[in-house]
Every structure is written in structure tokens, then in C-alpha cells.
Structure 1
């Protein structure tokens, strides 16, 4: 072969090899976390416009409805911890397992505090509304039937949406009546913990362990869960 043809042949073979070893669902330079967030903009706005969020923002939320939301949220955190535990048992990736173990401890601490605050002894004795029940069932289904990284995908909307809401309502300096303290602690615009979740999602996508379309369906279901739960449906 002439030198030019040899070079062309070499690069052709190299390109073919790269096509075989690079995960097919990976798009060069694309972050899956950014894609998932941008694809759910309408649901984010819908969450902002819900009865609970607007009632908190205006300081006009019926205290009984706030209590109903918080009791169910306590059960949501308890159920989420159970889903995380299921996923930990299926996880072989050491980094993902460590991440999930840390989140399990965090969720456990949170639901224990909420149980004390709202005098909950038996979480199974609480009758959930359809929105909270559907949301927890979604997380449980992801944990039991899908690859471990998908549970991280399913958890992102909660941890990323709340500080976004805080930014929209200017939670760091506006007054919200009796709900001011709760809003500033829970809708904190400065919270960046979701970035670690996003990083785990992006790593899993880059490694080819999660599919873009499946991840979007999981993400959308969780974001819709947030919307419906804030609507007390």
C-alpha cells in the first residue's frame, strides 16, 4: 500500500474499534443531568404553581393541609430509605454503593426527626393520599426492577426541584409568615447537594449503565410525583 492509503486504513480501523467500545447511548460532550432537567421545565413550573407551594409562598396555606403534607412527607422519606436499602443490596459498583449508603443514613435521620415531630409511631398506620402513594410506589418499583443507577435518577427531581423553587420565590430573604422558617430550611436556594446526584447520573450515563430514554421516563415520573404531591392529590 502507498503511505496515504496505509494512514487511511489505520484511521478507519481505529474508528471502527471506537464504535465498538464507546457506549451507544453516550453523546460526546452531553450531560444527561442537564438534558433531564431541561426536558422537565414545564413540570418544574407546574410544581411552583401548586396549591401547597403557592400557599406556603403567600403564607396562606391551611395549617391542616400543611400538617397533612408533612405527615405524608415523613412516610415518603421512610419509604425512600427502604427503596435505597433495596438498591444497596443490588449494587456492585463501590462508588455508587457508598453514595447510596450515605443517602440511606441521611434519609433515616430525616424520617426519625419527622416521626418525632409529628408523633408517628407506625408508618404503616398512615393512610396516604394517592399522589404520595403513587410516588413512593414509583421509587419502590425502580429500586426493585431496574438497574441501581436508575434510583439515583429517580431521586434527583426532589433534591433539585426544592432549591429551584426557593430561588423562584426568593426564599432567602422574603417573609412567608408562619412558614418562613420552614421555607428557608427546606427551599434553601443555596443548597447544592443535588450536584452530587447529577454527577452520579452523568457518570453512569457515560459508562453506558443507563439509557437516556429510560432515564427520562424515570425522571419525568418522579417530577410528576413532586407536582401531584405538592397538589395534595
Structure 2
């Protein structure tokens, strides 16, 4: 994550924002974590749960790609108000999510799952410390998220609260893979595109971090002998994917 810049930095305010608002909702699986826990960052097996869920819900990913928010950002014509509204609303999700991932981390019995959720929690925590300084806010208590973002946050919290820790992975996987997938579907932005760096930091990123989660799920069942309710996992994954799409879709509606 890039360091925050002053809200009064001279120059284009969107450049100030795009340097600071690198989305924390994708986890970087560092070499040390991957090596310690033998996590492969290559594509999971073709018929794995990771790919089954993705293909079953790919139409929502295509809807996200087609949103005005994504398409106008790629063209460099996105209304700055829409961009800012999206990031401020998303900050609410991240502030709520930090506590959720801390709870899931503490519930996790598996060492790999605990390490993964810990990385997620730390990512959110860093972002939450940076965001108020970037946006000249005291804290996130004054943020009024849009309805979709609030529902998404409440949904994630319910999964963390009511389900075993492993099901938290299915609430986060849609975001974890959707964003780099979106990056793979768009051209590299022109150097004159004011949103170029945000796109490069948030969309044009490796898919290996999501793959690591998918491979963990394979090992969770086949190596560790643990059971995952695939129907439940599918319901959680699908709802999270719908919220990801709707978050983009509503960003330009005001």
C-alpha cells in the first residue's frame, strides 16, 4: 500500500486519492507465508471448488465489468464524485471488516487459515489507519455508506459470526479473484488516464493470491480431511459476488 498523501497536496486531487486508496480487500500472500504453509499460487485444479464457484457466478463478474464505474474509469472519464463516493463508502466496509477478520482469525483452528485471515486483518487495519488522514476525517464514524455497501458489510459479519472460520474464505474469494480478473479483461490504461495508478494497483494485479486461497481449500478437504458444505459455500460465495457487482453498479447512482 502506498503511503498516504496530504489532502492539501498540490495538483490533481484524484492523483492524491489514487495513490492512497489501494484497496485492502485483496490479500498479498507473501513468499514467507506461502513457503511456511506450502501454499501454491498457481491455478487450482480445473474441477476444484474454486473454479466451480467462479464459473457458476461468472455472469456477475461480467456485469461488474460492464458497469459505468469500471468502463468510465478505464476510459479516464469517470466522474470524480463517483470515484470518491465509491471509496468513501467502501471505507465503511473496510472499517467494519477489520473487526470481522480479527474475529474469524481468532476462531480459526487451522494454522494456514489463521495466517491467511491474519494477513487480511492486518491489511484492513493498515488501510483504516491511512484513510482518515488521506480524506481529512477524524474517523469513519461519520461515513454513511450506500445501502448495498451496508448490506454487504452486515452479510460478511453474519458469516463470520454464525459460521466456522473457513466459510469466511468464501465471503472474501469473490473480491479476491474478481478484481484481478477485471484487470485481465481491460487494456492497460493510457499514461494520461488520471485513474491509471488506481487501476494498476487494484486491478492489474496477480491472480496468485486468490489461487493460494483456492489451493488451501483443496488441501483443507483432501489433505487435512476437513469437510466443507459445498452448498453453503456456494450460497455465501454467490451473495458476496452479487454485492461486489452491485457495489460497482451503484457507485454512479446518486
Q: Are positions 1:220 and 2:238 aligned together?
A: yes
Deviation of 1:124 after TM superposition, in Å, equals 2.5
Tell me, in whole angstroms, the C-alpha distance in 1 between the residues paired with 2:200 and 2:245: 20
Could you tell me how far apart the structure 2 residues matched to 1:113 and 1:193 are?
23
Q: Is the 8 A contact 2:90 2:145 kept in 1?
A: no
The verdict on how the C-alpha distance between 1:90 and 1:189 changes in structure 2, with shifts beyond 3 A counting, is closer
Select which of 137, 140, 155 maps to 1:120.
137
Return the offset for 1:226.
0.6
1:185 has 2:204 as partner: no
Match of 2:219 in 1: 203
1:56 matched to 2:73:
yes
Q: CA deviation at 1:121?
A: 2.3
2:192, 2:62 → 1: CA distance? 20
Between 63-72 and 50-59, report the one with greater CA deviation. 50-59
Mapped partners of 1:69, 1:93: distance in 2:
35
Deviation, structure 1 residue 191: 4.5
Q: Which moved more, 1:114-123 or 1:220-229?
A: 114-123
* Contact 1:166/1:188 (<8 A) preserved: yes
TM-score relative to the length of structure 2: 0.75
**Bigger Cα Rg:** 1
What displacement does 1:34 show? 0.9
Q: Say what the alpha-carbon RMSD is for the aligned residues.
A: 2.0
1:62 is displaced (CA, Å) by 0.8
After TM superposition, list the pairs within 5 Å mapping 1:84-103 onto structure 2. 84-103=101-120
Q: Which of the residues 41, 52, 56 maps onto 2:58?
A: 41
Q: Which runs of 4+ in 1 moved over 4 A?
A: 173-176
Query: Within the alignment, does 1:70 sit opposite 2:87 as a pair?
Result: yes
Query: C-alpha displacement at 1:189, in angstroms?
Result: 4.1
CA–CA distance in structure 2, aligned partners of residues 230 and 182 of structure 1: 15
Deviation at 1:102, TM superposition (A): 1.9
Q: Deviations over 1:74-108 (max 9, x none)?
A: 22222222111111222222221122112211221
Report the equivalent of 1:109: 126
For 1:146, which of 163, 169, 185 is the aligned residue?
A: 163
